[in-house]
Amino acid sequence: MTTTSQWVAGFRSALVSPYEDYRLFPSRSFAGQTVRQIVRLDGGGEAVRIRLSNRFGRRPLTVGAARWARRTEGHRVDPATSVALTFDGRTERVLAPGEEAVSDPVPGAVTAGEQFALSLHLPYDTGLATFSVVASETGYAVAGDATADAALEGAETLELSRYFVSGVDVLAPEGTAIAVAFGDSWMEGAGTTPGANARFPDQLNRRLGRGWVVNQGISGNRLLTDEVGEAGLTRVRRDVLDVPGVTHVLLNFGLNDLGSPGAIDPARPAPRPTAGELIDGYTELARILHEAGLTVIAHTIGPYAGTVYEGYDSEEGRAVRRKVNDWIRTTDVFDAVTDVAAAVQDPADPERILPAYDSGDHLHLSDAGTLAMAEAVDLARLRL
């Protein structure tokens, strides 16, 4: 008996423009180099297709060659598994500014948790790269076309960020359920150990018996305002509704709406949103998602008092956080709520992260913190 299959998201990496003043999150360019980046699949299937993006580029992006192979360790791959990627049958692909490309299918079974290396030969100056700000995974760059090499000895290491990669689709059984972790750094994984796959979606996936979660978090992202990446309300169609197979959404927003206005220029803090403005934003986001038929699970806004980032913490912001969290816990706007704040706060001072869950900057969670965050999710309400 043949099982009907469908393409669904097996991995995602939310992208931002390099032409914004992110300060802590600068992009870069490449020229005459091979860039090898690591992808750990959130879910498996009987084939894959890889998504590349020049969404925010200002010049054509030429991919001279691309290969997909199982990673063994570091920058090394198993050459027996290395496959040349094609795009409409061609090994070279030029992406115009704003364009995205999906590779031809690569047959062969893959499973959740497997790590692959995507090697791109970029023969010409790319200009500043469309990128993911805190991928928490090391990539590698070396001169020339080394896409078929088993190892990239002497390569430059690319810390944290990921370039030109928006996702991987897998051919999975029809009806496979996909949840999108949509939000900020508490989704993307800032503060967790690079290479440890300890981000919140990774931790939650380890609890799931079926279906899986893909990560569309952007560190520094806000619900209401463009800053690091487009606002959640702006990017929801591309980063949630257009994700193939999506059935559920987990929302984690508000931290940067409350903190970033004071941190950008502590001497002249910008106005922070009111509780009413954030509640209106959450309500509109839930409406958009429900109209698309998705199950919506909201997170309360986590604590951040005493953070090392000057101007981020304020009495005004704390008061708004408490009001919004009270509303999230009691409203019927969402299908379910995960009380992340309660799961990670210090009982002796609920405005602060419990020290055991603190990455050290008093704003982001450690590996233990993201585990506590994932364990707070009610799987009976998620129902993937």
**DSSP states of 326-383:** HHHHH-SSSSEEE-HHHHHEETTEEEEE-GGGB-SSSSSB-HHHHHHHHHTS-HHHH-
Q: Do 189 and 293 share a structural domain?
A: yes
DSSP string, 92-125: -EEEPTT-EEEPPPEEEEE-TT-EEEEEEEE-S-
| pLDDT for res 22 | 63
The answer to whether 36 touches 156, Cβ cutoff 8 Å, is no
| pLDDT for res 161 | 86
User: Would 172 be classed as within a structural domain?
Assistant: no
Q: For residue 220, what are the CA distances in angstroms to 64, 116, 253, 311, 358? A: 33, 27, 10, 14, 17
CB burial string 250-264: b at 16+ within 10 A, e below: bbbbbbbbbbbbbbe
- Quote the number of domains for the chain: 2
Q: Do 186 and 101 share a structural domain?
A: no
CA 80 to CA 85: how far, in whole Å? 15
Tokens of 274: 């009111």
| pLDDT for res 191 | 97
pLDDT tens string, the chain, 384 residues long: the values are 347 999 999 999 999 999 986 666 789 999 999 999 999 999 999 999 999 999 999 999 999 999 999 999 999 999 999 999 999 999 999 999 999 999 999 999 999 999 999 999 999 999 999 999 999 999 999 999 999 999 999 999 998 789 999 999 999 999 999 999 999 999 999 999 999 999 999 999 999 988 999 999 999 999 999 989 999 999 999 999 999 999 999 999 999 999 999 998 888 889 999 999 999 999 999 999 999 999 999 999 999 999 999 999 999 999 999 999 999 999 999 999 999 999 999 999 999 999 999 999 999 999 999 999 999 999 998 988
Burial (CB count <10 Å: 0-12, 13-18, 19+), residue 103? buried
Q: Do 182 and 161 share a structural domain?
A: no
| pLDDT for res 25 | 76
Domain extent for 101 = 5-167
Q: Do 65 and 163 share a structural domain?
A: yes
CA 105 to CA 170: how far, in whole Å? 9
Name which of 79, 154, 143 is nearest 117 in CA terms: 79
Q: What is the CATH number of the domain that holds 311?
A: 3.40.50.1110
Q: Do 181 and 128 share a structural domain?
A: no
Q: Do 365 and 259 share a structural domain?
A: yes
Domain stops at, among 105, 139, 167: 167
Domain stops at, among 149, 167, 185: 167
Name which of 364, 65, 104 is nearest 217 in CA terms: 364
Tokens of 361: 């900057």
Which residue's entry shows tokens 């090394």?
A: 76
Which residue's entry shows tokens 């603190």?
A: 358
| pLDDT for res 2 | 47
State the pTM of this model: 0.96
User: Would 340 be classed as within a structural domain?
Assistant: yes
CA 246 to CA 259: how far, in whole Å? 30
Name which of 249, 383, 257 is nearest 324 in CA terms: 257
Domain stops at, among 167, 194, 222: 167
Q: Are strands 106-110 and 45-53 parallel, antiparallel or unpaired?
A: antiparallel
The answer to whether 369 touches 357, Cβ cutoff 8 Å, is yes
Contacts of 267 (CB under 8 A, 6+ apart): none
